[in-house]
Chains A and B, each alone.
Chain A
Amino acid sequence: MAFTARAENVSPLAALKNVLQDALAVARVGRRTMHYLIRGKREPGSVARQMFAIGNQSLFFMCITMAFIGAIITFQTGLQSKKLVPDFSMIGATYLKLLIRDLAASVGALPLATRVGAGIAAEIGSMVVTEQVDALRMCAADPVDYLVVPRFIASVIMGTVILIIGGFVAYGSGMLVAQLMFDVSPHTFTNLSLVTMGDLVLGVSKAVTYGGAIALVSGQRGLATFGGSEGVGWATTEAVVGSCFAIIVLNLVISTIGYFFVPAL
């Protein structure tokens, strides 16, 4: 991957070429994932196992992170609105709208990618360097079908669930900060008047997309691992950075579509 330092001294042009190549490689894995999603045979229990692994390793971490994020965002929003209009009555309404429409999914997806992406890439990567993936291929088990697809399904479902839970936690911590720092009562804070159905649809579709993107980018990076145990370390790094970058690009794309087709107010 172009963004990591494995290859020494790459020119900016070569770096851009590498990014495009990586994006193409992820797209190819994505296409095969879709193919097997429809036609492949699932090993019973494989999706449930991955869902448990993802939930188990990231729920606690995500709750703590989202609590801090919620507090920070509320505080910053409060500071900013204090300068414009010294009125905090709409701080909760604005915060909840932003949280549902974007922040819960897009900000939460970055720590989620760190946790889940690193896990997927490390697991698949160590199977590659111990030749287990080659052994799978010898048994006519396409690694995309056997390894990536269950993680993809699990990441889409669990990722969305965890981001929604994280959104509730961020709401709670934001409410606490609003009460303590700006004297906004939970009652005033919990104001859903600005939230529309479109916001909810947009937020959930972001969460679903990020969940899928994390699994595809990290799965592709894991399968592309080479060079022994050090290679697994590299693949993990690349999975985290690649997933974060994919999330940011997808956020811009979805948010722009949302701006034009899902009226905010």
Chain B
Amino acid sequence: MIRLEDVHLAFGDNTVLDGVSLEVPPACIYALIGPGAAGKSVLFKVVAGLLRPASGKVFVDDEELGPLNEIELARVRKKIGMLFQNYALFDMNVAENIAFPLRRLFDLSEEEIAERVAERLERVALPGTEHRIPQSMSGGQKKRIGVARATIARPPIVLYDEPTAGLDPVTSQKIYDLVQEEQRAQDTTVMVISSDVAGVLTIADRVGMLHEGRLIFDGTTDDAKASTDPAVRQFVHGLTEGPL
């Protein structure tokens, strides 16, 4: 479960989050949509405790992040897997990248680690790429390695930042299916940022729309499709006419 209460955050004079409150119920896929520079990625980093809000409260599994120090935050982050918008893969080979959270968080034997890595690579349709270097791979492949790294420790919460950006429609759908299957199998709580609104709505249970640092819509997927708010309508249906 994730809950934000009146979260404000600014970089200098640039207000990024301007009073955001939202709740993601357990075992739910929550799609976060909105135009570029609306503060979506920043909101993810606030949930993960990577950025501290200027005011407001953030709860992960009923634990408030505000009073926690970096070491206590690390305990909360163990529950969260995160796919970064720009992959954020390390300068190591694919297997080392994916195994990194396992090595840091658990005490497993090398055989177990290799087995889990192979299973993840199978799952993201990149079997046998253990020894390749991510920098030499395509954007879609890097995204999928990021997905494998985010989920290998089986965290109860997973945040996907633009899992399908720059991917062709077929691969995009495969990634969405993967996100949904993973969520159903583990009963995880999932948040997805996506610019591909039509695609992400096919798997989302709930939708939030962020615009200029404010949450201008929060409801079920069906509500989003039926919304009469002009900005939401325009964004969900991809219209050129409208306030955006």
Are A and B in contact, CB atoms below 8 Å, in the complex? yes
Q: Is the CB of A142 within 8 A of B70?
A: yes
Given contacts A140-B74, A142-B74, contact A135 B88 (CB under 8 A): yes
Q: Contact size class for B?
A: 20 to 34
Q: Is the CB of B88 within 8 A of A130?
A: yes
Q: Is the CB of A131 within 8 A of B80?
A: no
Cβ of A22 within 8 Å of any chain B Cβ, yes or no, is: no
Cβ of B233 within 8 Å of any chain A Cβ, yes or no, is: no
Residues 113 to 158 of chain A near chain B (Cβ within 8 Å): 130-132, 134-142
B70, B90, B105: which contacts A135 (Cβ < 8 A)? B90
Tell me, in angstroms, the Cα distance from A131 to B149 when the chains sit together.
Answer: 14
Say how far A236's CB is from chain B's closest CB, in angstroms.
19
Cβ of B45 within 8 Å of any chain A Cβ, yes or no, is: yes
Say how far A197's CB is from chain B's closest CB, in angstroms.
43
Q: Is the CB of A135 within 8 A of B74?
A: no
Tell me, in angstroms, the Cα distance from A135 to B81 when the chains sit together.
Answer: 10
Cβ of B85 within 8 Å of any chain A Cβ, yes or no, is: yes
Residue among A130, A135, A140, A141 with max Cβ neighbours from chain B (10 Å): A135
Say how far B140's CB is from chain A's closest CB, in angstroms.
18
Say how far A158's CB is from chain B's closest CB, in angstroms.
21
Cβ of B178 within 8 Å of any chain A Cβ, yes or no, is: no
Q: Which residues from chain B contact A132 at a C-beta distance below 8 Å?
A: 88-90
Q: Is the CB of B104 within 8 A of A141?
A: yes
Say how far B162's CB is from chain A's closest CB, in angstroms.
12
Q: Is the CB of B70 within 8 A of A138?
A: no
B77, B85, B89: which contacts A138 (Cβ < 8 A)? B77
Q: Is the CB of A131 within 8 A of B84?
A: yes
B residues bordering A, Cβ < 8 Å? Answer: 45, 48, 50, 70-71, 74-75, 77-78, 80-82, 84-86, 88-90, 100-101, 104-105, 149
